[in-house]
Amino acid sequence: MRHTPGPWFATTENTLPSKGAIEIQSEYGSIAHVYGGECPDDETQPNARLIAAAPEMAVELRERVADCMCQHDSIRHPDGCNQCENGRTLLARIDGP
C-alpha cells in the first residue's frame, strides 16, 4: 500500500482556503479537496464520501480476494473466480505500475 492509510473522512469544517470544497482528511492530515466541478451539486457530497471510503474499500477488497473460496478449489477455479479476477484488476489500478 502506497497511499495514505485510512480511515479518511469528508468534512466541510476546514475548507479554507478552498471555500466551497469538501475536504478529505485522514489522521495524517488533509488528503484532498473535492469540488463540484461539472457534477450536479447534489452529487458533490456523495462523491466526497465515496473518495473518503476508498482506503477501507481497498482493504476490504484485498481481504476478499485473498480469502475467496476459489483459492481452495483449484479444480473448479484453476485461475480463480470472476470476482477475484475483477478484484485483482481493480487492485492493479489502485496499486499502479
Residues binding Zn ion (CB under 5 A): 68, 70, 80-81, 84
Contact 11, 23 (CB under 8 A): yes
Task: Tell me how far, at minimum, the Cβ of 66 lies from Zn ion, in Å.
Answer: 10
36 versus 80: smaller Cβ distance to Zn ion: 80
Contact 93, 84 (CB under 8 A): no
| Burial of 80 (C-beta count, 10 Å sphere; 0-12/13-18/19+) | middle
59 versus 68: smaller Cβ distance to Zn ion: 68
Contact 58, 94 (CB under 8 A): yes
* Residue 66, helix vs strand vs coil: helix
Task: Tell me how far, at minimum, the Cβ of 54 lies from Zn ion, in Å.
Answer: 22
Task: Tell me how far, at minimum, the Cβ of 85 lies from Zn ion, in Å.
Answer: 8
